[in-house]
């Protein structure tokens, strides 16, 4: 029988949509039956295991799943012996200490002998030890942010992304213990056949990630400005220059990093660029 790759993804929750979208964008179609724990792709040698987020690292360590998609915060909490093979740039968050608004907090030392509620006791314990702080850790698995309001703890250590949940619960973010994002993890002892399938999957995933970070830019410029504009553009290689129907003008095309666009837009306009278009890219193969 031909080798197939087992991929662990979160059954429900924040990482579910992003994980499946990535496979789909890579042309890997999963035959999803409702409430199935395992589903197969009919067009790629890959099966998806739908698991609880917190179980995924161990399934990958044990080799039940070959690769998995998890938040990197979980790997630190569980000190999982897996290899991170790609950062996926979604589900970005940070693990932070937060305290009730109005509570005096100059540093983590102010939590000496206090109670802290968290779902990440191991990471918190290490942080407290590094700062020589003794505190009582209350482990709760969800809705950590209500703990101070109901008198369960003085502070919390929880995942934050926009900060709106903290705000709604009258909490203020203080120390950041770590930052996290969705990552692909891999078992360390895989056969050559499985590694070859992973290479194919990762090629597709990287092609999509690259495209998500980039935009296609088109602009018009007088021919005598092509040199200066080409220097401003943070391009992949060298821009494409095509003549316009109007004498002395060209259309310049290139690919730029989305984040860098805002840094150079004013310079481009000053240098004489007109009619600037920014267009999304679906895939980039290099």
Select the residue interacting with ligand AMP from 53, 80, 169, 250 (CB under 6 A). Answer: 53
Which residue's entry shows tokens 């991170």? 84
92, 93, 128, 160, 184 from 96: Cα distances, Å: 13, 9, 12, 7, 23
Task: Select 70 or 211, whichever has its Cβ closest to ligand AMP.
Answer: 70
d(CA 54, CA 183): 14
Answer yes or no whether residue 41 interacts with ligand AMP by CB under 6 A.
no
Which residues ranging from 70 to 99 are in contact with ligand AMP (CB under 6 A)? 71, 73-74, 91, 93
- Over the range 94-120, which residues count as b (16 or more CB within 10 Å of their CB) and which as e? bbbbbbbeebebeebebbeeebbbbbb
Q: What is the DSSP string of 197-244?
A: HHHHHHHHHHHHHHHHHEEEEEEEEEGGGHHHHHHHS-BSS--EEEE-
Which residues ranging from 114 to 173 are in contact with ligand AMP (CB under 6 A)? 159-161
Task: Select 154 or 158, whichever has its Cβ closest to ligand AMP.
Answer: 158
d(CA 254, CA 252): 7
Q: Give the residue at shortest CB distance from ligand AMP.
A: 71
CB 172 within 8 A of CB 166: yes
Task: Select 16 or 105, whichever has its Cβ closest to ligand AMP.
Answer: 16
Q: Which range in 11-19, 145-153, 166-174, 243-251 contacts ligand AMP by CB under 6 A?
A: 11-19
Which residues ranging from 180 to 219 are in contact with ligand AMP (CB under 6 A)? 180
Count of residues touching ligand AMP (by CB under 6 A): 13
Q: Which range in 56-64, 67-75, 192-200, 231-239 contacts ligand AMP by CB under 6 A?
A: 67-75
Positive or negative, the Cα torsion across 280, 184, 53, 146?
negative
Task: Select 160 or 221, whichever has its Cβ closest to ligand AMP.
Answer: 160
Which residues ranging from 235 to 254 are in contact with ligand AMP (CB under 6 A)? none
Positive or negative, the Cα torsion across 228, 233, 237, 242?
negative
CB of 104 to ligand AMP, least distance (A): 26
CB of 274 to ligand AMP, least distance (A): 41
Give the bridge partners for 249, in sequence order: 222
CB of 21 to ligand AMP, least distance (A): 15
Task: Select 93 or 184, whichever has its Cβ closest to ligand AMP.
Answer: 93
Residues near ligand AMP, by CB under 6 A: 13-15, 53, 71, 73-74, 91, 93, 159-161, 180
């Amino acid at each position: 029988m031909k080798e197939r790759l087992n991929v662990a993804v979160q059954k429900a929750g924040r990482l579910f949509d992003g994980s499946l979208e990535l496979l789909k964008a890579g042309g890997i179609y999963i035959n999803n039956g409702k409430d199935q724990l395992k589903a197969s792709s009919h067009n790629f040698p890959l099966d998806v295991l739908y698991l609880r987020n917190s179980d995924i690292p161990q399934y990958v360590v044990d080799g039940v799943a070959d690769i998995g998609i998890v938040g990197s915060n979980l790997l630190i909490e569980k000190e999982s012996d897996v290899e991170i093979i790609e950062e996926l740039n979604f589900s970005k968050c940070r693990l932070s200490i937060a305290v009730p608004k109005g509570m005096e907090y100059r540093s983590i030392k102010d939590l000496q002998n206090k109670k802290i509620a968290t779902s990440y006791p191991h990471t918190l314990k290490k942080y407290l030890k590094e700062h020589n702080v003794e505190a009582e850790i209350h482990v709760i698995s969800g809705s950590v942010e209500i703990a101070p309001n109901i008198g369960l703890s003085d502070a919390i250590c929880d995942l934050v992304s926009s900060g709106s949940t903290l705000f709604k619960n009258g909490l203020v973010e203080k120390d950041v213990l770590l930052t996290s994002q969705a990552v692909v993890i891999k078992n360390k002892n895989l056969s050559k056949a499985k590694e070859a399938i992973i290479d194919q999957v990762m090629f597709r995933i990287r092609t999509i990630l690259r495209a998500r970070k980039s935009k296609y830019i088109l602009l018009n410029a007088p021919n005598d400005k092509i040199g200066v504009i080409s220097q401003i553009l943070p391009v992949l290689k060298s821009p494409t220059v095509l003549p316009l129907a109007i004498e002395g003008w060209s259309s310049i095309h290139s690919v730029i990093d989305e984040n860098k666009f805002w840094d150079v837009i004013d310079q481009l306009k000053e240098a004489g660029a007109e009619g600037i278009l920014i267009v999304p890219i679906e895939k980039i193969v290099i």
